[in-house]
Amino acid sequence: MSAIREGGALAKTITFACVHFTVAFGVAYLLTGNVAISGALALLEPMANTIAYYLHERVWRRIVQLPEPTAARI
């Protein structure tokens, strides 16, 4: 148990990746009925999601860094 606490972030990341893969495979298999296609989708979808998350973080960082709008002077 202490190993999980000490490496909590890594353990959580690994277990979430397993859950993500399993869900992606299950959904793809239900939709296609094909193990090969389901496996490919289960591998590709998390990679695409990772890239989308990275791009989202970059855009978010730019939005947060924008200066606050000033009140209009009358």
Q: Let me know if residue 71 belongs to a domain.
A: no
Contact 52, 60 (CB under 8 A): no
In a domain, 37, yes or no: yes
Asked whether the beta carbons of 50 and 41 are under 8 A apart, the reply is: no
pTM higher than the cut 0.75: no
CA 9 to CA 17: how far, in whole Å?
Answer: 12
Structure confidence at residue 10 (pLDDT): 82
Give the angle subtended at the CA of 43 by the CAs of 38 and 45, to the nearest 5°.
Answer: 90
Please list the pLDDT of the chain residue by residue as tens digits (74 residues).
555 566 688 888 888 888 989 999 999 999 999 999 999 999 998 889 888 989 999 898 888 887 776 766 66
Which structure tokens are listed for 68?
């606050």
Domain that holds residue 32: 2-65
